Chains A and B, each alone.
Chain A
Amino acid sequence: MENIYLIIALSPLVGAIIAGFWGGQIGRAGAHWVTSTGVGISAVLSLYVLYGFITGTNQVFNGAVYTWMVSDGLRMEVGFLVDNLTAVMMSVVTFVSFCIHIYTIGYMAHDEENWPSESLAGKNSYQRFFSYISLFTFSMLMLVMSNNFLQLFFGWEAVGLVSYLLIGFWSVRPTAIFANLKAFLVNRVGDFGFILGIAAVAMYANSLDYAEVFKAAPGLAGTQIEIFQGTSWSLMSVIGILLFVGAMGKSAQVPLHVWLPDSMEGPTPISALIHAATMVTAGVFMVARMSPIYELSETALSFVLFIGATTALFTGLIGIVQNDIKRVVAYSTLSQLGYMMVALGVSAYAAGIFHLMTHAFFKALLFLAAGSVIIGMHHDQDIRNMGGVKKYMPITYWTSLLGSLALIGFPGFAGFFSKDAIIEAVHHSNIAWSGYAYFMVVVGVFVTALYSFRMFFLVFHGEGPRDEHAKDHLHESPKVVTVPLILLAIPSVFIGYFTVDAMIFGDWFAGAIHVLPEHDTLAALGKTVDSGNGMLGHFYATLPFYLAMAGLGVAWYIYMKQPDLADKIKGMFAPVYNLLDKKYFFDEIYQAVFAGGSRGIGRFFWQKGDAKLIDEIIINGSANNIGRFAGLVRNIQTGYLFHYAIAMILGLLLLLTWFVII
């Protein structure tokens, strides 16, 4: 089996290398063929592996590929752990990635228009783009297939690198290269915590291998460490929270969420692939993978829960006031990532991964649909200029509708099962902050429906497009764009219904995810309903359903029936509107405090510390003092005989006095 896993991981890398280094030689078609084939092979083999796990013919694989380094008894390896959890992740990543490779052929077809004509960087940008997204797929696979913390960190940072390269892909745009630096640095803040967490694991478990660490974890559960003098911290809480800081960076949780909306400066395919479906969910995957550690610390779980719940509602609210089509979807992604974290926080890891999977499909779909509209609008992204797009772009319209219904959790759609499972799990939880989280996620359902359908109505319905010029060129996108939409729409509708029984009510994750009986909220949920059909049968009896419908209805009423109502509300609640419009002023504060502050500290250290204190006063100062001293001493050597004679006589006198007195 090992060979299959190697091929799955490496074939996107091969594609990336060929397209990256020989893009000029193989041309555009060569580049998209070689990378799509590479990712296609991975996708097919991943599905084959998944099928093997479904039928039970596959065994869990845990083995090393090669030894990275052995130092001081600490063995660091590159290796794979493939179990049910990994198989799901691999399949989602490669399938979505494959769809996006196809889509990119259409989306980037005229990329030369995005570059100044004389720019050499724009010459093979099409090939470079394919190289990057294939490299991303490789990195993401290394991350999810890892069997140890070192490789996890490798994949973790590698996806960050590709994200950096892709957000700043159009490097001539100032906003793009601002956004990619910001994304990388905010992620590094997360990784700062992450690497400390890994260091703690390495110290106490003396291993970086998952299996060994998880085996050692229960024995370390009672360990207390002292971080500040005289305080005592549970080791598991410290590790859990430090690792989660990494997840907060990568999965854009408040307060490290600020990079994700800006990342929309990148081309839309990567917004769908990296900043919605896969990379940003790495944090969710990581926590689920580390369930044996998190189960040992309720403090860490509560922390996850609090951060997730806060993110879920507050970022969703911002989505209501955004006018850039991609940013609405981006805030929606933030909010949904919050939901996943909430699931993890109440130990419903399976529900978190389940929502990760359904979300990957419908959010990728929504992004690609948004991209399709953007193509039609000739790269105008302002929803105020759109409207009535439905009749020009029927396929985009219908797939968008399916995606939006999945997102708001309309009964029967993929999102219905995953979101309801999370909400119900929170309901059954009794760890600290679960009451707060329940309120946030329930209100969040209303907000989700409101911003989703506000955008949907504004873009597709009504008279329009409001930008008159758009009428001339607005038409349905080519097949390479619409086929991936359809490919993603199918799982967006059905995947929830067909997998909920295994993932939520069954034992699909039995070997991969570890839940203590007293935390098992999904088991508690299973006592009230025991299957997907059961959930469907009771949809009318749940609060979220009515909230979602209310959100949809309000969106319809405000934006379809009473268009001037939106402005009235905006006027009535101006302070609230401003707060949301400015995204709670996070960007302004960070820019002033962290960016400005760091430069200030740097200048202070440099000019006052290095230049003034060390160089001017101490180094050159001592040189000058020596010079001055020499200048003084030089005065003695006047060359006049009588000066020397006086000195001699005085000296003699002094000596004589001294001898006489002694």
Chain B
Amino acid sequence: MSDLPILSLVIWLPIIGGALVLASGDKQANVTRWTALIVAILTFIVSLPLWSGFDTSTAQMQFVERSMWISLFNIEYYLGVDGISMPLIVLTTFITVFVVIAGWEVIEYKPSQYMAAFLIMEGVMVGVFSALDSMLFYVFWEAMLIPMFLIIGVWGGPNRVYATIKFFLYTFFGSVFMLVALIYMYFKSGSFDILAFHGLKLTLTEQILIFVAFLMAFAVKVPMWPVHTWLPDAHVEAPTGGSVILAAIMLKIGGYGFLRFSLPITPDASSSLDWLIITMSLIAVVYIGFVALVQKDMKKLIAYSSIAHMGFVTLGFFIVFMIAQNSETASGAVLGIEGGMVQMVSHGFISAAMFLCVGVLYDRVHSREIGAYGGVVNTMPIFGGLMVFFAMANAGLPGTSGFVGEFMVIIASFRADFWFAFLAATTLILGAAYTLWMVKRVMFGEVANDNVAALEDVNRRELLVLGSLAVAVLVLGLWPAPLVEVMDASIENLVKHVVASKL
């Protein structure tokens, strides 16, 4: 088993499968769909040994594959995972299965291209998470934009052109600076090996410049306030599947970047600029929480809620230094980063489910406006139960995965500063307010209009998708220990590395 190049398989299987799906054309839509589904499920199955065969006792890279790619520049095809990237890869393969199912009969326009885009997207995203050569990482990173650009541009809503351009320019703008930083480090170290970058000695000025370059790339992806405004537009115009992948996986790549690049490569810059990230994160939690409250479009509301939830991720990552200052043992620093990681995985489930819920309604009524609904639970009781459940998870109810990460980050941030915890904890009120107020207006009350009266409850396909996600949310909420265990060694190692100065 261990001889198989599992990571390569997980990357190339969906990409090649996607190419096949694309080649099969739209004549026999059902064959296309089934092929796509089989490829997605196979990829998921192939990714499972990453979890089952994972050695939780070490922080070393595992499932490593390494060979020369472009020897002139010493660029390698170098893959490997640790406890930080592995859960995100499994999350990617898991979510993609449901995206394929969710687009089943909903997408009538060019289904083969639609399915192919998502499969290729999957492979590329796994590539981002597993690349250990930064040039390889960069290639995957930029390649990711293309399928998403097409997904929004082709299957998107009426204002999709504005949204795609905004999305593309925003993210591309950020990543150019990252490329410069990577090339600079190549000249210093002679390779593009990310792990070599971790050990690279850099002066504080160098670190700060590199940190800022990375920040531009990652902050846009997360997205952090104030570079978040592309996200609501992209979500609103994207088809349901696009929103799901965007929220569940693509945003996580920003968070992953902080852990893989910013913190370990530029620890001193991170330490001296942590106030900036913490401020941006807390603004994301509070400011965006208020903005979400007044949204009239369900997808926009969930998009804003995503930004607020991702604020917890970056907050958890960057309180490390203040915690280390407050106590000699830096106890609590690991808790914060692990909290951020759990929050990323959990948000992958919950935001996916929330967007799928909106998709269920949109497919029937063709409106995302909150005001177009009311009393849906009277005609769709099963859907109502699921949506209320996911809403509660989004509001961070204990017992659901939404609680775990927030709880860990709040507890950890208290160790950094009382006021960080204070501001972060406002999500308890704001998160509940914007989510449940929406639920109240959409789900409860008397049947608002004929559209709602004509609604039919979820079909088996939708029930399967939402039900599976509900189980995932519940399991992670009731027993997060396995997930935390998987990442524990890597994150402890990371914290040890990060609190030691490079200067």
Contacts and interface: CB of A to CB of B under 8 A. Distances in A.
B378 A199 contact: no
B291 interface: yes
Given A121-B384, A181-B440, A192-B429, A71 B335 contact: yes
Nearest to B446: A172
A498 interface: no
B65 interface: no
| Residue in B398, B419, B426 whose Cβ sees the most chain A Cβ within 10 Å | B398
A128 to B, nearest CB: 9
B334 A71 contact: yes
B445 A614 contact: no
Interface in A616-658: 618-619, 623
A171 B428 contact: no
Contacts of B334: 71-72
A381 to B, nearest CB: 21
A71 B226 contact: no
Contacts of B419: 227
B54 interface: no
B429 A202 contact: no
A623 B173 CA distance: 12
A333 B419 CA distance: 35
Given A69-B481, A196-B422, A602-B291, A121 B381 contact: yes
B290 A199 contact: no
A120 B421 contact: no
Contacts of B339: 71
Contacts of A203: 332, 411, 414-415
A70 B484 contact: yes
B481 A118 contact: no
A562 interface: no
Given A72-B335, A181-B440, A121 B411 contact: no
Interface stretch (B105-113, B117-125, B267-275, B430-438): B430-438
Contact of B287 (A156, A157, A609): A609
A33 interface: no
A537 to B, nearest CB: 49
B377 A171 contact: yes
B331 interface: yes
Contact of A157 (B166, B398, B436): B398
A587 interface: no
Interface in B401-429: 403-404, 407-408, 410-415, 418-419, 421-422, 425-426, 428-429
| Residue in A69, A599, A605 whose Cβ sees the most chain B Cβ within 10 Å | A69
Given A171-B444, A181-B436, A188-B428, A605 B410 contact: no
A177 B480 contact: no
A66 B333 CA distance: 25
A615 interface: yes
A420 interface: no
Contact of A196 (B414, B436, B485): B414
A190 to B, nearest CB: 10
A174 interface: yes
Contacts of B91: none
A423 to B, nearest CB: 36
Contacts of A168: 444
Nearest to A599: B294
B181 interface: no
B379 A120 contact: yes
Nearest to B487: A71
A191 B432 CA distance: 12
A154 B398 contact: yes
A116 B378 contact: yes
A480 interface: no
B392 interface: yes
A74 B410 CA distance: 14
Interface in B365-398: 375, 377-381, 384, 388, 392, 397-398
A623 B230 CA distance: 14
B428 A602 contact: no
B408 A196 contact: no
Interface residues of A, number: 61
Contact of B397 (A66, A161, A189, A198): A161
A196 B421 contact: yes
Contacts of A71: 334-335, 338-339, 408, 484, 488
A68 B480 contact: yes
Given A71-B335, A192-B428, A200 B414 contact: yes
Interface in B276-330: 287, 290-295
Nearest to A611: B229
Interface in A142-182: 150, 153-154, 156-158, 161, 164-165, 168, 171-172, 174, 177, 181
B157 interface: no
Nearest to A193: B425
A185 interface: yes
A153 B428 CA distance: 13
B414 A199 contact: yes
A68 B401 CA distance: 12
A528 interface: no
Interface in A62-85: 66-74
B291 A184 contact: no
Contacts of B399: 154, 157-158
Interface string B468-501: 0000000000111100110010000000000000
Interface in A27-71: 66-71
A69 B381 contact: no
Interface string A197-240: 01110110010000000000000000001010000000000000
A157 to B, nearest CB: 5
Contacts of B425: 192, 195-196
Contacts of A586: none
A119 B481 CA distance: 42
B378 A118 contact: yes
A73 B294 CA distance: 41
B447 interface: yes
B413 to A, nearest CB: 8
A610 B229 contact: yes
Contacts of A200: 414
B457 interface: yes
A619 to B, nearest CB: 6
A198 B411 CA distance: 8
Contacts of A195: 407, 410, 425, 428
Nearest to B292: A602
A606 interface: yes
A471 interface: no
B481 A601 contact: no
| Residue in B404, B411, B415, B429 whose Cβ sees the most chain A Cβ within 10 Å | B411
A120 B480 CA distance: 36
A598 interface: yes
Contacts of B437: 181
A603 B377 CA distance: 29
A446 B141 CA distance: 73
Nearest to B418: A227
B87 to A, nearest CB: 14
A123 interface: yes
Contact of A615 (B229, B378, B479): B229
B432 A184 contact: yes
27 contacts: A68-B480, A69-B404, A70-B481, A72-B331, A74-B335, A116-B447, A118-B453, A119-B447, A121-B381, A122-B378, A153-B407, A158-B397, A161-B397, A171-B375, A171-B443, A172-B375, A172-B444, A185-B432, A188-B428, A192-B425, A203-B332, A598-B293, A599-B293, A606-B295, A609-B291, A614-B226, A614-B229
Given A184-B432, A227-B418, A606-B294, 11 more contacts: A69-B404, A70-B484, A118-B453, A188-B429, A196-B414, A199-B421, A202-B414, A203-B414, A601-B290, A606-B291, A623-B169
Interface of A: 66-74, 116, 118-123, 150, 153-154, 156-158, 161, 164-165, 168, 171-172, 174, 177, 181, 184-185, 188-189, 191-192, 195-196, 198-200, 202-203, 206, 225, 227, 598-599, 601-603, 605-606, 609-610, 614-615, 618-619, 623
